[in-house]
């Protein structure tokens, strides 16, 4: 079985629990076929797919290490929930994030490093999100309701991006994403030095 790889911002345990608490409250209204394990929550920056050559992956790891040494830590904020796919029968149910220039710029840097090494990446515009569930399974159409737009409001919805991971997908395990490499972003003090 081929192993797929991707680079992503992990969601720390406190915010995994925050999302899980929200899901527990509303899950009976949301008949999706499969729910993502909380340890697998992440924000994908670049999906690499089947890597094939180990040398290519090693070269990418070196390039990402060089890049993150100049990237300071920054904050992100959870904001609302939405879907991808047909509005009535969506394929992906996800948590959103407030717009972040830091995240957009960082994703572009990671994306560019991947392309420099020779990875062919999806050219669709970057839509940062945290996948929560897949495949609507009810015969009744999905309908958006106000709690989706206002999910996470008034809670401790902000979190610091301190690192990113290179993940490997293991389809036969739960959780299914395994950390292969961790890249630490810099504190403001270390960037100034």
| pLDDT 10s digits, 136-178 | 999 999 998 888 988 888 767 889 999 999 999 998 899 999 9
Among residues 42, 150, 158, 165, the one annotated as catalytic is 42
129 catalytic per annotation: yes
pLDDT of residue 89 exceeding 60:
yes
Q: Residue 193's pLDDT is what?
A: 47
Q: Residue 5's pLDDT is what?
A: 95
37 catalytic per annotation: no
> Hey, is 4 helix, strand or coil?
strand
Query: Do 142 and 83 form a contact (C-beta atoms < 8 A)?
Result: yes
Q: Within the chain, what is the greatest distance between any pair of CA atoms?
A: 59
Among 23-27, 49-53, 54-58, 95-99, the minimum mean pLDDT is found in 49-53
Domains of the chain, residue spans: 4-192
Q: What is the mean pLDDT of the chain?
A: 92
CATH of 4-192, one of 3.90.1140.10, 3.40.50.2300, 3.30.70.360, 1.10.490.10: 3.90.1140.10
Among residues 129, 150, 158, 165, the one annotated as catalytic is 129
């Amino acid at each position: 079985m081929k192993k797929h790889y991707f680079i992503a911002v992990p969601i720390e345990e406190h915010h995994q629990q925050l999302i899980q608490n929200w899901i527990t409250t509303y899950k009976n209204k949301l008949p999706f076929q499969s729910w993502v394990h909380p340890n697998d929550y992440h924000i994908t920056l670049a999906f690499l797919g089947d890597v094939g050559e180990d040398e290519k992956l090693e070269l990418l790891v070196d390039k990402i290490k060089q890049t993150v040494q100049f990237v300071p830590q920054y904050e992100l904020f959870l904001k609302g929930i939405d879907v991808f796919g047909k509005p009535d029968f969506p394929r992906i149910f996800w948590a959103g994030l407030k717009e972040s220039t830091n995240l957009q710029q960082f994703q572009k840097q990671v994306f560019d490093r991947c392309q420099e090494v020779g990875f062919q990446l999806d050219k669709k515009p970057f839509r940062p999100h945290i996948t929560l569930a897949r495949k609507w399974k009810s015969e009744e159409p999905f309908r958006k309701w106000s709690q989706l737009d206002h999910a996470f409001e008034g809670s401790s919805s902000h979190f610091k991006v301190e690192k990113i991971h290179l993940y490997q997908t293991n389809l036969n395990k739960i959780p299914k994403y395994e950390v292969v490499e961790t890249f630490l972003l810099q504190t403001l003090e270390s960037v100034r030095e």
